[in-house]
């Protein structure tokens, strides 16, 4: 067994902007668990098919097998044995990994807590901020409940400083604030940037969130 500072199940959350190595760190942790002969299963959202449909892949090319799911209920179905896992060794897992956690529905939070309470080590990787620089979906809730949080940085493509933001570009120009947080099939690109060089166009009226 891998040594852990925590007794029993717990949550580990890995966050940062794009290109900060979140998936790489998730892969590293679950690979070590496999080497330690622990039962491991990894899930990823079906929306993320940039590299492999059945693997979590890092920008550096490292991969680990994963089950692509469309909802947290799909995850529950796999864990209940209603759908075939990648291997029998993944049944009653010691370690459950989730990549791109920000794309999962809100039910991932109670599921992660249930898994941790049952004794599993739950490792989740995802964007903590969306392209606007605002908290992304369920990530704040996961961060608040985690025993362990690792916040990674990338390198700002403008100045070389540590980057904490994800810059969305459409046609080479910064995206507008009112653009959807998740774009499917759009011709957008992304860069890592620091706070100073992160840009969001505000051509349209800004909708402020009430305090």
Q: Is 156 annotated for ligand binding?
A: yes
* Token pair in block for residue 103: 């794309």
**Alpha carbon 174 to its chain's center:** 23
Whether 52 has a binding-site annotation, put simply, is no
Residue 197 labelled as part of a binding site: yes
Do the annotations mark residue 139 as ligand-binding?
no
Instruction: Tell whether 184 is in a known binding site.
Output: yes
Q: Are 199 and 174 a contacting pair, CB within 8 Å?
A: yes
Instruction: Report yes or no: 28 and 35 within 8 Å, Cβ to Cβ.
Output: no
> Does 21 count as an annotated binding residue?
yes
Active site residue 147: no
Which whole-number Å values give the CA distances from 73 to 19, 116, 166, in the listed order? 29, 17, 29
Handedness of CA 125, 95, 118, 151 (dihedral sign): negative
Instruction: Tell me: is residue 100 an annotated ligand-binding position.
Output: yes
Q: Tell me which of 82, 100, 150, 191 is the catalytic residue.
A: 100
Q: 20: annotated binding-site residue?
A: yes
Nearest to 69 by CA among 51, 88, 85, 57: 85
Q: Is 43 annotated as a binding residue?
A: no
Any binding-site annotation on 151? no
Beta-carbon contacts of 204 under 8 Å, excluding residues fewer than 6 positions away, are 176, 177, 178
Question: Is 190 annotated as ligand-binding?
Answer: yes
Residue 171 annotated as part of some ligand binding site: no
- The bridge status of strand 55-57 relative to strand 63-65 is antiparallel
Main-chain phi, psi angles of 12, to 5 degrees: -120, 125
- Distance of alpha carbon 69 from alpha carbon 104, whole angstroms: 9
Q: Which residues are annotated as a binding site?
A: 16-23, 99-102, 156, 159, 182-185, 190, 194, 197
Annotated binding site for substrate: 182-185, 190
Would you name the residues annotated as active-site residues?
100
Q: Binding site for Zn(2+): which residues? A: 156, 159, 194, 197
Mark the binding-site residues for ATP, compressed into ranges: 16-23, 99-102
């Amino acid at each position: 067994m891998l040594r852990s500072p925590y007794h029993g199940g717990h949550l580990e959350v890995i966050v940062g902007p794009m290109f900060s190595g979140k998936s790489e760190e998730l892969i590293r942790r679950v690979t070590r668990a496999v080497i330690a002969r622990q039962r491991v299963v990894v899930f990823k959202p079906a929306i993320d098919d940039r590299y492999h449909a059945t693997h979590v892949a890092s920008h550096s090319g490292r991969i680990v097998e994963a089950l692509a799911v469309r909802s947290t209920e799909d995850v529950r179905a796999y864990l209940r044995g209603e759908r075939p896992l990648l291997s029998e060794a993944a049944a009653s897992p010691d370690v459950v990994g989730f990549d791109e956690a920000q794309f999962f529905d809100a039910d991932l939070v109670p599921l992660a807590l249930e898994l941790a309470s049952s004794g599993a080590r739950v490792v989740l990787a995802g964007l903590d901020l969306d392209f606007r620089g605002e908290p992304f979906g369920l990530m704040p809730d996961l961060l608040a409940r985690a025993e362990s949080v690792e916040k990674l940085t990338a390198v700002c493509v403008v100045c070389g400083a540590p980057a904490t933001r994800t810059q969305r570009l459409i046609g080479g120009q910064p995206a507008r604030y009112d653009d959807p947080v998740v774009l499917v099939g759009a011709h957008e690109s992304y860069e890592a940037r620091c706070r100073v060089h992160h840009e969001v166009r505000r051509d349209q009226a800004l909708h402020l969130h009430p305090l």
